[in-house]
Chain A
Amino acid sequence: MTSIRTRPNSDVLLLTVLESKLGRIATATTTSRRQLHFLSKAIKRDLGISVDFLISKGSAHEDMEAGLNALLKMRYPEVIQNCFISFVGDDSVEVWLEGIASRTQDRANYLKSVIRNYLKVFDVKLDGIRWADSEEQLPSTTAILRELKTASPALPVELAQGLKARGFQIPSVSWLANKLDSIRRRRHAIRREDGRYVLTEGGLNMVPHGKGRQGSDVARALALGRKKW
């Protein structure tokens, strides 16, 4: 712990912990977020004091980040707008990149090796790279089930349209048909004779529902109203 600060307006005590002392699990030399959470609860329970933890990055981390940022912006100005680093372990980090994800695997791999080599200078390993901006993405099974809930009974091509309208990328209708087939094999949907897919009860349980305007139940009710029978 590097410092204790009080917030005069409230009764909360702010404790600063160095990031380097934070690990995934609690060991002899590191604590973990979970342990900090338990600690604050225990303090509240035993001493009646509200405590909050602030994780501060060391200057080494900031310098490393600033250096990588400058390096990438200089070498790839059209691709990378920003980057930052977050620690996932004692000596490995994830690098978050903001920019246009490279379309070609070669460029992406090259970029990865540039970053890896840079980090090696600091004795730090690269755990992975995260892109922040890829707008178009493939729908997950849950996303497909969600669309199916709204649109049942639906043909694959109709589902593809609905998913695209939600902003997902569909490589092809047959790709979606494959996914629907594995959904069917898991018994989350059935395929009718006319080629339309319908959610089963099991599939229905997989879709999150909410009470708000965006809830899937509401969407289904509205879609039913719009359907032409």
Chain B
Amino acid sequence: MRHDAYTAATNLSDLLKHAYEVRRIADYEPEQRILRNGKVIKLGEQTMEGARNWPSRTLVHAKTLIKIWRQLGLS
């Protein structure tokens, strides 16, 4: 359970950091262009395909953490 909690938490925090960084670039650094290489669209280091998965990944990790939360009797 500890491993699950650690993985979910670190994956979630990585995702949030990435998302924040892309949003920040999009909002405050308009001179950074969206690059296109064939079908791959990128801003900063983030691809659009990767970003498409964000909502479901977040949900998965959040559900894992909530499950562990309940098992520990914290809710």
Contact = CB atoms under 8 A, between A and B. Distances in A.
User: Which size bracket describes the interface of A in this complex?
Assistant: 35 or more
Contacts, number: 73
A8 B28 CA distance: 9
Given A86-B11, A94-B7, A56 B45 contact: yes
Chain B interface helix/strand/loop/mixed: helix
A140 B24 CA distance: 42
Contacts of A182: none
Interface residues of B, number: 29
Nearest to B67: A137
Top 3 nearest A-B pairs by Cβ distance? A146-B73, A132-B60, A140-B71
B74 A132 contact: no
B38 interface: no
Contact of B49 (A66, A86, A168): A66
Interface string B3-21: 0100100110010011001
Interface stretch (A109-117, A169-177, A206-214): A206-214
B30 interface: no
A86 B15 CA distance: 12
Given A84-B57, A143-B70, A130 B45 contact: no
A80 to B, nearest CB: 11
Interface string A73-105: 000000001101010100000101010000000
